Amino acid sequence: MTGHANGHQRLLIITPAHNESGHLASTASAVAAQTRPPDLWLVANDGSDDGTLEIARDLEREIPFLRVVDVEQPHLTAGDRLALALEARAFNAALRGVRWEDFTHLGKLDGDIELPRDYFERVLRAFSDDSRLGIFGGSIVEPSGGSGNWKRVTAPSYHVHGALKHYSRECFAAIDGISERLGWDTIDETYARMRGFRTFRDPTLVARHHRPSASAGGKLRGRARHGECAYIARYSAWWVALRSLKMAARWDPRGLSGLAFLWGFLSAHLRGLSRVEDAEFKRFVRAELRGRLRGALLGRALARG
């Protein structure tokens, strides 16, 4: 694993865009204003029917490093888009059209994200400063309660939001890219750590996510989907039970969030949903979970004095 000097870094960004006519222009404005813009930005229109493709074509004429890719997925246009991993499929479809190996870093950016002006500059600096860093990204805030209020989306420091995630070329190759299945943005990080890379989310690097996660299907559907992801990613039943209690106590809607998460995990088991079939992956996940539990218990013990 080697870092890249700033002068030799080349950045590829891919944006899967499905019905983002209300947000794509503001996302593009923020990308165009970057202190260090991408070397190539692919906007992959994914079956939009709201004018997203036309907006993207207009932006393509204005932004020299932007290229539009029209992705056709006629057999996957209905149902739960996240469960069908259409974002990941669109990302990979755009990726197949370029030589991604010619770039030192690759990133996924949703079409409803508004970045701070120095976002990509700081991303590339982080990779340059840490040769072990394989996956990196900033934190996101989402609209909350109207009146221009924003709420930070909480996540552990090792988890980078799928909405704005960046890879070193070496890491991306080592994990064989992103899988086209629900939970891809957890699976990729687990494989990265298995391969000796570090995954990190910077809490001081904050972007605005204009369309809250899981908003299309509602909060409870989103919580249940998280439970399905935990099942697919081989998380232990005891961890899921503890996590559901924590979600019930802290996440809105209180109580029901934990139940929805637990139901998502259990229903995935009852339906025989396909999991990551990799014995090494399973062992690594279980060892990580045990380590995190021990760390949490030790932290509480030390806090009590």
Candidates 278, 279, 182, 180; CA nearest to 228 is 182
Token pair recorded at residue 105: 């870093």
| Total residue count of the chain as it appears in this document | 305
How do residues 159-199 score in pLDDT, each as one tens digit?
999 999 999 999 999 999 999 999 999 999 999 999 999 99
Helix H or strand E segment including 142: strand 133-143
Q: How many domains does the chain have?
A: 2
User: Strand, coil or helix: what is 136?
Assistant: strand
Look-up of token digits 């870094």: 9
CATH number at 90 reads 3.90.550.10
How do residues 218-258 score in pLDDT, each as one tens digit?
788 889 999 999 999 999 999 999 999 999 998 888 899 99
Question: Cβ(16)–Cβ(87) under 8 Å?
Answer: yes
Domain hosting 286: range is 219-304
- Determine how β-strand 150-152 pairs with β-strand 164-168: unpaired
d(CA 192, CA 174): 7
User: Strand, coil or helix: what is 175?
Assistant: coil
Residues 34 and 182 in one domain: yes
Domain ends where: 188, 209, 230? Answer: 209
Domain ends where: 178, 209, 240? Answer: 209
User: Strand, coil or helix: what is 3?
Assistant: coil
Within a domain: 135: yes
Confidence of residue 35 (pLDDT cuts 50, 70, 90): very high
- The average pLDDT across 17-45 equals 96
Within a domain: 124: yes
Within a domain: 214: no
Residues 108 and 226 in one domain: no
Main-chain dihedrals φ then ψ at residue 54, nearest 5 degrees: -65, -40
Look-up of token digits 């969030």: 257
Token pair recorded at residue 290: 């045990």
pTM above 0.85, yes or no: yes
Residues 181 and 283 in one domain: no
Candidates 80, 49, 77, 42; CA nearest to 63 is 42
Q: What angle do CA 100, 103, 106 make, to 5 degrees?
A: 75
Look-up of token digits 């989402």: 142
Domain ends where: 149, 180, 209? Answer: 209
Residues 110 and 19 in one domain: yes
Residues 194 and 228 in one domain: no
